[in-house]
A and B are shown apart, each in its own frame.
Chain A
């Protein structure tokens, strides 16, 4: 883990030093920003409370070009499938680290900028499943179906594009659309998780979105 962190810092420093050729007069560090994802708060109120993620993030502005980001949140899922009446529940924290890249760094605008970025996400959770009884094909008797605290450690990557717009003083609004790909699957003897906190509904690939309130310091 230390090696990975060191490699990430080295890569950021290298990219930043390359960009310094034309921007020697500008400061390397240009502040930090804190943001909260309102999509995760609005979604369960107005759309569905079956599953959602609440998250906040911290990012640094380097040369107005590179934005190393740390994101953390809490994912919830408590839903019943319509077809089979299966109840699935889980709730756990998750973490992401990554980097955003300002696509308009050469032409800065006070209105905001478009950016792309990458993330590495991790969550460690357990999930419960309860389903209507299943019929034993040998005895013909009904057998209860219950899974409790099935462990899941998930690692995934994200590629994203987004927009950040200036609203007032240090306050900005922004959104991101994220393509997510699961690297480590949580498949166990008892099956796959249906929802992974921070990632979303289980599958090799999925999508996500954030709508953020951002404060620059």
Chain B
């Protein structure tokens, strides 16, 4: 036992201690970044009644976004929709969505204003465009109001907008 503390073995003990510290550091730093599968973020909209309860659209709903070169369909003839997710424009500050209710034969339009934030993820995972919702409005045939609940649109899967219908 006494030989373990002899001066001749002390450098060896120090070396072992340094080796153990190095191994601990190597193990502690293991890990890496995972990339998301799709870099495009979406705004998540849910439908509500004016009394605050979630609702389902008992109609065939088609939603399209208004573009200069022709409208683009975001949701196509969906029956019983409770909400939808859609991307926002990267260059535009305001996007216009037309909601068509086939059976009732009426349409409403939703306007969403937003700021765009170019987002650098990493050299290996690429880039994305995040958004901050600044204002929202709608026409009032069936819709009552549009409420922004979480303005930041990023990779967090949370409700961003509540679309409120009259009872």
Q: Is the CB of B118 within 8 A of A203?
A: no
Interface pair B130/A189, CB less than 8 Å apart: yes
Contacts of A179 in B (CB 8 A): 25-26, 28-29
A131 CA / B122 CA spacing, docked (Å): 11
Most buried by B among A138, A141, A194: A138
Binary flags per residue of A194-214, CB closer than 8 Å to B gives 1, else 0: 100000001111110000000
Chain A contributes a number of interface residues (CB within 8 A of B) equal to 45
In the complex, A129→B124 CA distance in Å? 13
Is A136 within 8 A of B91, CB to CB? yes
Inter-chain contact B120/A129, CB cutoff 8 Å: yes
> A88 at the A/B interface (Cβ < 8 Å)?
yes
Interface membership of chain B positions 15-54, coded 1 if the CB is closer than 8 angstroms to chain A and 0 otherwise: 1011001100110110101000000100000000000000
Shortest distance from the beta carbon of B125 to any chain A beta carbon, whole Å:
8
A114 near B18: Cβ-Cβ < 8 Å: yes
Determine which of B11, B68, B126, B130 lies in contact with A83 in the assembled complex, contact meaning CB atoms within 8 Å: B126
Q: Are A104 and B91 in contact (CB under 8 A)?
A: no
Tell me if A216 counts as interface (CB < 8 A to partner B): no
> Interface residues of B, CB < 8 Å — how many?
40
* Contact residue among A116, A134, A138 (Cβ-Cβ distance under 8 Å from B92): A138
Asked if B150 is at the interface (CB within 8 A of a chain A CB), the reply is no
A179 vs B17: C-alpha distance when bound (angstroms)? 16
Q: Are A137 and B21 in contact (CB under 8 A)?
A: no
Provide the residues of chain B in CB contact with A194, threshold 8 Å.
120, 122-123
CB distance from A9 to the nearest CB of B (A): 25
Residues in chain A near residue B15, CB distance under 8 A: 114
Identify which of residues 49-83 in chain B touch chain A, using a CB-to-CB cut-off of 8 Å.
65, 67-69, 72
> Closest 3 interchain pairs by CB?
A81-B123, A179-B25, A191-B120
